[in-house]
Amino acid sequence: MDLRMPEIDGINGLEMIRKEYEDIKIIVLTMYDDQQMISKMMEIGANAYLTKTTDPDEIYRAILTCVNDDFYFNDLVNKAVMGKLMQKKCAPAIQQAPAFDFY
């Protein structure tokens, strides 16, 4: 699945497919490597996220891994997911930080 498609975008397409077919494997193959988009697609049910510059051998490994183990995580996905986790972890601490009055 790509993110930009003629009839529907990848986010809505993924959500629709996931609602109808829970067990289907979905690999995103796109030119976008934005970490927020990667995290979003993985959160809503992608089994892998690859860019169109991905080596064909890695695409093959991703397909086999998704079929056999459900998910394929490459460096791109790992960085995006870890970035999202760090944001969630740091956000409460920032919000709860004590206020200081400076005179």
Position 15 scores a pLDDT of 93
Count, residues in the chain: 103
pTM listed for this prediction: 0.78
101 in any annotated domain:
no
3 in any annotated domain:
no
2 in any annotated domain:
no
Which long-range CB contacts under 8 A does 60-69 form with residues at least 24 apart? 62/27, 63/27, 66/25, 66/27, 67/25
**Domain coverage including residue 80:** 10-95
102 in any annotated domain:
no
| 79 has a pLDDT exceeding 60 | yes
pLDDT in tens, 25-65: 999 999 999 999 999 999 999 999 999 999 999 999 999 99
33 in any annotated domain:
yes
Q: If pLDDT is split at 50, 70 and 90, which confidence band does 91 have?
A: low
Radius of gyration of the chain (CA): 17
1 in any annotated domain:
no
Q: How many domains are contained in the chain?
A: 1
CB 39 within 8 A of CB 84: yes
What's the CATH code of the domain at 89? Answer: 3.40.50.2300
Angle (nearest 5°) at CA 5 between 3 and 8:
95
